[in-house]
Amino acid sequence: MSSTPASASASASTSPSTSPSASPTASPTASTSVARGDTAAPLTSLHDRAALAERFGRDPELHLFELGDLDEPFWSHTAWYTTSADGPVALLYAVGDVPTLLGLARPAHADRLAGLLRAMRPVLPRRLLAHLTDGGADALAPDYRVEHRTAMLRMALTDRSALAPHLGGASDARPFGPVERLGTADLADLRALFAAGYPGNWFDERMLTTGPYVGIRDAGGRLLATAGVHVHSAARRVAVVGNVTTHPQARGRGLAAACTARLCEVLAGSVDHIGLNVRADHPTALSLYRRLGFTTVTGYEEAVLTAS
């Protein structure tokens, strides 16, 4: 789930598994029910990872984050809910101050997702960051009011051949180094780059050990651009690109494209599905990702919700 919008440097939005969050204020229960038509559907808490993986694996590009969160260190901080054996599943991720609610569904299941969200009201915390299919936040009204709403897109890499023109490095002929792998030794340089080019992004140093990060430096060794991941699960064969950032003084020279292309090339050795989240009103980022072979999977809303 995204906790920070894409920056002017074409940064992908952050993942659900990395959004700061807190434990739900109520316990999961199978006795809570929601009216749907003339029936009452019980709210069920799910705990079988294999069954969840099979369920999300039917539409992996829509459920990249859910599949990634089936792995530790995320799994132990998750709660999963549904109201039907074959309908939508919602994820509540709980670590930190503001919980994250993720609920995405295809248009044919939008009504069932709305019913699920209404059923979840007794187990939701008073304040949360929600990533929901369009209209999902409205299903929680009037119990929850929307403080902030942002239109987002989920994109997936569908044309890997589009990466090739960008794998040679920066398009500018100035003296930039090659795209290199980054690690924990580069933490200070990454933090400096984010402060300059993507202030307010969510980055945890553990990301450098759970998935690949790459970057480009100038002739003096200063880190000018980077691309990394928020979710990387070789077991589930999925990855989510994030924290794509270029220093303001180095934009427009193909550095973000070179880093993202190289990152996707690295990821291709361990995953089948690569995606990202991006603001729908960010033309620079959208143009970049489309050139790299990403296409839109679905639109959704990112919203901060507070109990009325």
Res 170: pLDDT: 56
Beta-carbon-side half-sphere exposure of residue 59 (alpha carbons within 13 Å): 13
Per DSSP, what are the bridge partners of residue 153? 278, 299
Res 210: pLDDT: 86
Q: Provide the pLDDT confidence category of residue 5 given band limits of 50, 70 and 90.
A: very low
- CA torsion, ordered 60, 66, 71, 73, to nearest 10 deg: 150
Res 30: pLDDT: 39
Res 264: pLDDT: 98
Question: pLDDT at residue 173 above 70?
Answer: no
Question: pLDDT at residue 138 above 60?
Answer: yes
Question: pLDDT at residue 16 above 60?
Answer: no
Q: Provide the pLDDT confidence category of residue 200 given band limits of 50, 70 and 90.
A: confident
pLDDT tens per residue across span 202-257: 788 888 988 999 999 999 999 999 999 999 999 999 999 999 999 999 999 999 99
Res 96: pLDDT: 74
User: pTM (2 decimals)?
Assistant: 0.85
Question: pLDDT at residue 130 above 50?
Answer: yes
Q: Provide the pLDDT confidence category of residue 172 given band limits of 50, 70 and 90.
A: low
pLDDT tens per residue across span 40-88: 579 999 999 999 999 999 999 999 999 999 999 889 999 999 999 999 9
| Burial classification of residue 147, based on how many CB atoms lie within 10 Å of its CB (0-12 exposed, 13-18 middle, 19 or more buried) | exposed
pLDDT tens per residue across span 258-307: 999 999 999 999 999 999 999 999 999 999 999 999 999 999 999 999 99
Res 202: pLDDT: 79
CB count in 10 Å sphere of residue 26 = 13
Cis peptide before 175 (omega within 30 of 0): no
Q: Provide the pLDDT confidence category of residue 10 given band limits of 50, 70 and 90.
A: low
| CA distances for 227 relative to 44, 57, 259, angstroms | 38, 26, 6
Q: Provide the pLDDT confidence category of residue 171 given band limits of 50, 70 and 90.
A: low
Whole-number Å distance between alpha carbons of 147 and 190: 31
Res 174: pLDDT: 56
